[in-house]
Structure 1
Amino acid sequence: MQKSFIKLLFFSIISCHIFNTQNLRALVPYYHFPDAKHLEQEALSIGKQAYQLLYFGQIKDSLNFAKLAVKINDKNENLWLILAEAQTANELYEDAFNSLNNAQKINPKMSEIYFAKSAIYLKQAKIKKAKISLELGIQIAPENFNAIFQLGNIYLMEKDYEKALKEFDKAIEIKKDFWQAINNKGLAYYELNNINLSIISFKKAISIEENAEPLLALASCLSIKDINEAIFLAKKALIKEPNYVKYNYRKEQLWGEKLQNSTEKLFENNKLKEEIFIARTKIN
């Protein structure tokens, strides 16, 4: 009975379409198919949402949104770049490289593509490739002080301290109050046994930003000349950032062996025992 009714309904709809199309249109909803410009705008909106999700740490949702944005519009290099960042956050490095290559085909003069590749290479500990990508990006955007700073950091990793200093100076020339570059000059000077210039660099960095890193680094520099001042600065640094109590954390911040050894000796001082214990407790 039900099958017969469905058949009857089906044929009545067909006949209605054949014999009375005007009436049928009143029952069927009208769909508007968006044009290319509207789709592009929609893709950009979704891409923006993907980037916001990435910023707030929702990396899986960000990846899904970024994929959708590229699916709607695969001719926009910025959307490919956002997708690459989401893929990198999800540790999908090969997928990220593919996305960056697609962006590069669209716009080979986009410096951010080379900087993003460099960041991935660094995560993979491919230092030489990271340096090449950075240099290519800097050729396109020679005023990008962050990229120049990162190139200096790579030279720190390679223990090429003279070249690191040159890059940090270039970055500071563009951005005078770039305390991170000033601080890292101090790191390089210390490994070159130029303690006085290290002290000057760390003090200058602190005058711009009283950050835990230059505070502790300066404490290490002063540990032989003025132990009381060194202890005061070290306590202040560990309160600001307890992670600096860890050797490996300082290594991640590109501290060289000489500065590391000086800091370890400073931490042996009995007057720092309580602060070191509290710092380790906070980390755990």
Structure 2
Amino acid sequence: MPKRSSLLSLLLVAGLWVVAQPAAQGQALVPYVLQLDSEQLEQQGLGLAQEAAQLAQFQQYELALARAQLASQLLPENADVWALLGSLYLQLGEVDPGIQSLLRARRLDANNSGVLFALGSAYFQKENYNLAIQYIMSGLRLRPDVPGALFDLGNAYYMLEQFDDAIDQYRKAVDIDAEFWPAINNIGLVLYEQGDMAGALQKWEAAAAIDETQAEPQLAIAVLLYAQGETEAALEKGEAALLLDSRYADLEYLRINLWGDRLLEDAEAFLSQPQIREALARISPPQDNTMPQ
């Protein structure tokens, strides 16, 4: 669907375009008559927004975006619709239009904490960590008990190498939700960069114990063990982690997940081991692009 639907498209969808009968020969042109029902338009917009939200729950983001775009034109003064549109743009990696939609939502509703948190996430993606911190903190002043927002704030501090502030926010998130393993995991990331290997190991083991299906803390443990010379245990742990999620064998993917320079260097050495390369080949065998005979 085009990024911006015309008024004609909107009216066709709403069933509100009334076509006048052709003018008789020699008669002045009779203009089209628009019969707009604001209540019906509002209901159409709300219905589209609801469909978009439902599609987003099933990660059908492109279909959801098309409906949210149309809803935003039918309901241009509805902050929730603009917030939904902005969040969908972010899900699809379209950060700039996402920010514009979220800023419009904020102008319509300055006290929507969700919009402020989303703006913080958007500016984090643009690597503007100071502005991300400002928006997230503004949201937390309205709603101080959101673990995900505290986690995002910790990540922004971490990227600015304000390690103590990062750990403080992660701990606040865990105080609210003791099962919030990403915050525990990221405390381990910070501690590793600070050279506290024992502390990092303890956090990663705690994160892995909360959710055994998560590859990241298990791979981090494997990398740490390998760096400490415990090769056999490291390789066993690493194979198991990559079997859960082989994306963690990609150093760029690790960087996106905030693995720091020290941990990335050790991860590169670990992932280059023949046993790990062989395990990855078994997990993700190369595709045969030859044509069938």
Give the TM-score normalised by the residue count of structure 2. 0.77
Match runs of 1:38-117 below 5 Å:
39-89=41-91, 92-117=94-119
TM-aligned CA deviation for residue 34 of structure 1: 5.4
Q: 1:213 & 1:61 partners in 2: Cα distance?
A: 31
CA displacement at 1:55 relative to structure 2: 4.2
Which of 115, 139, 151 is equivalent to 1:149?
Answer: 151
- Cα drift, residue 271 of structure 1: 3.4
One-letter code of the match for 2:198? N
What's the CA shift for 1:182? 0.6
When residues 207 and 120 of structure 1 are mapped into structure 2, their CA distance, relative to the original with a 3 A threshold, is same
**Which residue of the other structure, out of 231, 235, 255, is the alignment partner of 2:235?**
231
Deviation at 1:186, TM superposition (A): 0.7
Match of 1:271 among 268, 272, 275: 275
Matches within 5 A, 1:140-219: 140-210=142-212, 211-219=214-222
Larger radius of gyration: 1
Helix, strand or coil: the match of 1:74?
Answer: coil
What is the match of residue 4 of structure 2?
none
Moved more, 171-180 or 151-160: 151-160
Which structure 1 residue ranges, 5 or more long, are not aligned? 1-5, 8-31
Partner SS for 1:121: helix
* Inter-CA distance 185–103: structure 2 relative to 1 (3 Å threshold): same
Whole-angstrom CA distance in 2 between matches of 1:88 and 1:49:
18
Query: What is the Cα deviation at residue 89 of structure 1?
Result: 4.5
For 2:218, the aligned partner's letter is: L
Tell me the alpha carbon deviations over residues 157-177 of structure 1, each in whole angstroms, 9 at most, x when there is no partner: 222222111111000000011
Question: 3-state SS of the aligned residue for 1:113?
Answer: helix
Q: Give the AA of the match of 2:248.
A: Y
Deviations 1:115-160 (A, max 9, x none): 2212222232222222211111111111011010011111222222
Q: 1:79-105, CA deviations, whole angstroms, 9 ceiling, x for partnerless residues?
A: 111122234445554443332233222
Tell me which protein shows more helix as a share of its residues: 1
CA distance in 2, matches of 1:137, 1:222: 39
Does structure 1 conserve the Cα–Cα contact (< 8 Å) formed by 2:78 and 2:105? yes
Percent identity over paired residues: 27
Alpha carbons 1:114, 1:134 under 8 Å: kept? yes
Give the corresponding residue for 2:32: none
Asked if the contact 1:243–1:283 (Cα under 8 Å) also holds between the matched residues in 2, the reply is no
Given that 2:121 and 2:152 are in contact with CA atoms closer than 8 Å, whether structure 1 keeps it comes out as no
Asked if structure 2 preserves the Cα contact closer than 8 Å seen for 1:53 and 1:59, the reply is yes
Q: Does the CA contact (< 8 Å) of 1:186 and 1:198 recur in 2? A: yes
**1:8-61 superposed Cα distances (whole Å, 9 cap, x missing partner):** xxxxxxxxxxxxxxxxxxxxxxxx98563x654442221011223344454444
Q: How much is the aligned-residue C-alpha RMSD, in angstroms?
A: 2.8
Q: Provide, for residues 196-239 of structure 1, a one-character-per-residue CA deviation record: whole Å limited to 9, x for no partner.
A: 11111011111111211000101122222532211111010111
1:152 is aligned with what amino acid?
G
CA distance in 2, matches of 1:100, 1:273: 44
Counterpart AA for 1:105: R
Cα distance in 2 for partners of 1:145, 1:220 equals 28
Mapped contact 1:148–1:168 kept (Cα < 8 A):
yes
1:257 maps to which residue?
261
The structure 1 residue matched to 2:225, chosen from 222, 227, 232, is 222
Counterpart amino acid of residue 228 in structure 1: E
